[in-house]
Amino acid sequence: MYTQSLDLPGQAQQAAPITADLAEQQAAFDARIAEDGKIEPMDWMPDAYRKTLVRQISQHAHSEIVGMLPEGNWISRAPSLKRKAILLAKVQDEGGHGLYLYSAAETLNASRDDLVDALHTGRAKYSSIFNYPTLTWADVGVIGWLVDGAAIMNQIPLCRCSYGPYARAMIRICKEESFHQRQGFDALLAMMRGTEAQREMVQDAVDRWWFPVLMMFGPPDAASPNSTQTMAWGIKRISNDDLRQKFVDATVEQAKVLGVTLPDPGLVWNAERRHYDYSPLDWEEFWRVINGDGPCNRERLATRVKAHEDGAWVREAALAHAEKHANRATAAKAA
Interface ranges with Fe ion (CB under 5 A): 64, 94, 97, 148, 177, 180
Give the side-chain half-sphere CA count within 13 A for 296: 18
For the chain, give the longest Cα–Cα distance. 78
User: Least distance in Å: CB of 173 to Fe ion?
Assistant: 6
**Between 94 and 139, CB nearer to Fe ion:** 94
CA proximity to 168, closest of 159, 176, 177, 178? 159
**Between 174 and 322, CB nearer to Fe ion:** 174
**Between 146 and 248, CB nearer to Fe ion:** 146
Q: How far apart are CA 99 and CA 220, in angstroms?
A: 30
In sequence order, the β-bridge partners of residue 108 are none
User: Least distance in Å: CB of 179 to Fe ion?
Assistant: 8
Q: Which residues contact 187 (CB under 8 A, 6 or more apart)?
A: 83, 86, 137, 140, 141, 144
CA proximity to 238, closest of 254, 222, 221, 252? 221
CA proximity to 138, closest of 93, 199, 90? 199
User: Least distance in Å: CB of 293 to Fe ion?
Assistant: 25
**Between 66 and 262, CB nearer to Fe ion:** 66
* DSSP 3-state of 267: coil
**Between 45 and 173, CB nearer to Fe ion:** 173
Residue 275's H or E segment, with its range, is strand 275-277
**Between 71 and 106, CB nearer to Fe ion:** 71
Q: Which residues contact 82 (CB under 8 A, 6 or more apart)?
A: none
Q: Which residues contact 115 (CB under 8 A, 6 or more apart)?
A: 54, 58, 61, 62, 102, 105, 124
User: Least distance in Å: CB of 150 to Fe ion?
Assistant: 10
Q: Distance from CA of residue 142 to its chain's centroid?
A: 17
**Between 54 and 146, CB nearer to Fe ion:** 146
User: Least distance in Å: CB of 154 to Fe ion?
Assistant: 11
| Residue 134: φ, ψ to 5° | -105, 95
**Between 198 and 218, CB nearer to Fe ion:** 218
User: Least distance in Å: CB of 148 to Fe ion?
Assistant: 4
Q: Hey, CA dihedral for 107, 121, 150, 274, is it positive or negative?
A: negative
User: Least distance in Å: CB of 228 to Fe ion?
Assistant: 27
User: Least distance in Å: CB of 181 to Fe ion?
Assistant: 8
